[in-house]
Amino acid sequence: MKATATSRFVRIAPRKARLVADMIRGQKAGVAQGMLTLSPRKAAAEVEKLMRSALSNLMTKDESGSLDVNEARVVEIRVDEGPTLKRWRPRAQGRATRINKRTSHMTITVEAAE
């Protein structure tokens, strides 16, 4: 049994979020949550929140009530690029340079241990 959770328009660059996603891909949920809790990266808090949502979705799908969420496995975690917010910063001699504030779309799929 699989469950998915999606988070869109997260205000973190996809490149930075992918570092955290690669860290937990294929791990058991209990181990992955521990890694995310102890990680100093900003993206870890966003991914942890998304993983809790996916595990909650998995528990909702389970009718028997005998599911151990710590044994669930992170089957897929994907971080895609969202729209970029374009901002301007003043520079010397009246010029301006563009600042790109990138966003991410994150999707995580967890699977119950059979």
Architecture field, domain 2-111: Alpha-Beta Complex (3.90)
Q: Which amino acid is at 37?
A: T
C-alpha–C-alpha distance, residues 63 and 86, integer Å: 47
CB contact at 8 A, 12 and 46: yes
C-alpha–C-alpha distance, residues 109 and 30, integer Å: 15
Residue 60, token pair as written in the block: 């909702």
Total-model pTM:
0.88
Q: What residues does each domain of the chain span?
A: 2-111
Residue 94, token pair as written in the block: 């009246």
Compute the average pLDDT of residues 80-87: 97
Q: How many CB atoms lie under 10 A from the CB of residue 102?
A: 17
pLDDT score of 72? 92
C-alpha–C-alpha distance, residues 74 and 102, integer Å: 25
In tens, the pLDDT along 4-54 reads: 999 999 999 999 999 999 999 999 999 999 999 999 999 999 999 999 999
